[in-house]
Structure 1
């Protein structure tokens, strides 16, 4: 029984061994997910201070960002 357990342990150890994976041509999985998206700047609505992505902002003539057309029409809220 002990010989069987030692054999199973050896097989498991070899299966997870980097040297054996290299011999078999298996690639190790990357530890982290690769970054696939650019980080977008966040802006604060000039009316309500809600944060929103720069690509979704509505801007007035002075370039101030707003979260919606309603807030753009209302103007700065401060």
Structure 2
């Protein structure tokens, strides 16, 4: 059951579900189940790294966009500037 739920969460890239399932790893009865779990955990690790890289790239892109927008804005006069 756990293996099937983990496989589904991995396929659907449901990070929260994967995290919950990792917290509840059961005791496996057979060597085959242990090997499957080890493989799935490796895949989950790769998914986490991929998601981390993607998030970093997105944040860098957003920062570049914000910096560009700030540099392209014309400064506005403060309402406290009084010209005589």
Given the two structures, how large is their TM-score scaled by the length of structure 1? 0.31
Q: Higher RCO, 1 or 2 (CA under 8 Å, sep at least 6)? A: 2
More strand by percentage:
1
More helix by percentage:
2
